[in-house]
Amino acid sequence: MIERKAISISDATEGMSLGGTIEDRMGRPLMKPGDVLSDYKIERLRRLGLGTLQIQYDNGVDIDPDKILSDKARENVEKYRVEDPNKVHLEQVVKDRICEGVKFLYANPDPVQLAETTQAVTYELMEAIKKSDAVAVNIADLKVSDEYTLEHSVDVATISMITAKKQGKSQKELFEIGMAGLMHDIGKTKVPPEILNKPAKLTFEEFKEMKKHSLYSYQMVKDNTSISNDVKLAMLQHHEKLDGSGYPYGIKGDEIHPYAKIITIADIFDALVTNRPYKRGIAPKEAVEMMMGMTETLDMKDLKSFLSTMILYPVDSLVQLSNGEVARVVKKNPDFLLRPMVVGVTSGTVYDLGDIRCMNLVIV
Residue 157 CB: number of other CB atoms within 10 A?
Answer: 27
- Pairing type for strands 29-31 and 22-23 reads antiparallel
CA distance 238 to 246: 9
- Domains of the chain, earliest start first: 2-63 (3.90.105.10), 66-84+315-364 (no CATH), 92-309 (1.10.3210.10)
Among left, alpha and beta (phi > 0; psi -120 to 50; other), residue 23 is beta
Q: Exposed (0-12), middle (13-18) or buried (19+): which is 148, by Cβ within 10 Å?
A: middle
Q: 198: buried, middle or exposed (CB in 10 Å: 19+, 13-18, 0-12)?
A: middle
Total-model pTM? 0.79
**21: helix, coil or strand?**
coil
CA torsion through residues 271, 273, 277, 280, sign: positive
Q: Which of 171, 173, 189, 181 is nearest to 270 (CA)?
A: 181
Look up residue 27 and give its DSSP letter. Answer: S
DSSP single-letter state for residue 327: E
Taking the CB of residue 341, how many other CB atoms lie within 10 A of it?
A: 23
- Taking alpha carbons only, the member of 56, 76, 75 closest to residue 16 is 56
> In whole angstroms, what is the distance from residue 331 CA to residue 120 CA?
36
pLDDT digits (tens, 9 = 90+) for 237-271: 999 999 999 999 999 999 999 999 999 999 999 98
Q: Do residues 74 and 64 touch, judged by C-beta distance below 8 A?
A: no
Decide if 99 contacts 151 (C-beta within 8 A).
no
- 308-333 confidence digits (pLDDT tens): 888 888 888 888 899 988 899 999 99
Quick one: pLDDT at residue 2?
Answer: 55
User: C-alpha angle with apex 126: 125 to 130, nearest 5 degrees?
Assistant: 115
Say how far apart CA 265 and CA 159 lie, in whole Å: 9
Strands 2-8 and 341-344: unpaired
pLDDT (tens place) for every residue of the chain, 364 residues total: 456 666 777 778 877 878 777 766 556 677 777 787 877 788 778 777 777 777 776 543 445 556 678 899 999 999 999 998 887 777 777 778 888 888 888 887 777 788 889 999 999 999 888 887 777 776 666 665 557 777 888 889 999 999 999 999 999 999 999 999 999 999 999 999 999 888 888 999 999 999 999 999 999 999 999 999 999 999 999 999 999 999 999 999 999 999 999 999 999 999 898 877 667 778 788 899 999 999 999 999 999 999 988 888 888 888 889 998 889 999 999 888 889 999 998 899 999 999 999 999 998 8
User: For the residues of 143-206, what is the DSSP string, one character each?
Assistant: ---SSHHHHHHHHHHHHHHHHHHHTT--HHHHHHHHHHHHHTTGGGGGS-HHHHT-SSPPPHHH
Q: How far apart are CA 61 and CA 53, in angstroms?
A: 17
Q: 106 with 189: CB under 8 angstroms?
A: yes
Q: How far apart are CA 347 and CA 24, in angstroms?
A: 33
User: What 3-state DSSP class applies to 224?
Assistant: coil
DSSP 137: B
Pick from 114, 110, 98: nearest CA to 152: 98
Give residue 357's pLDDT: 93
What are the beta bridge partners of residue 87?
136
Instruction: Give the contacts of 357 (CB within 8 A, at least 6 positions apart).
Output: none
Q: CA 127 from chain center: how many Å?
A: 20
Q: How many residues does the chain have?
A: 364
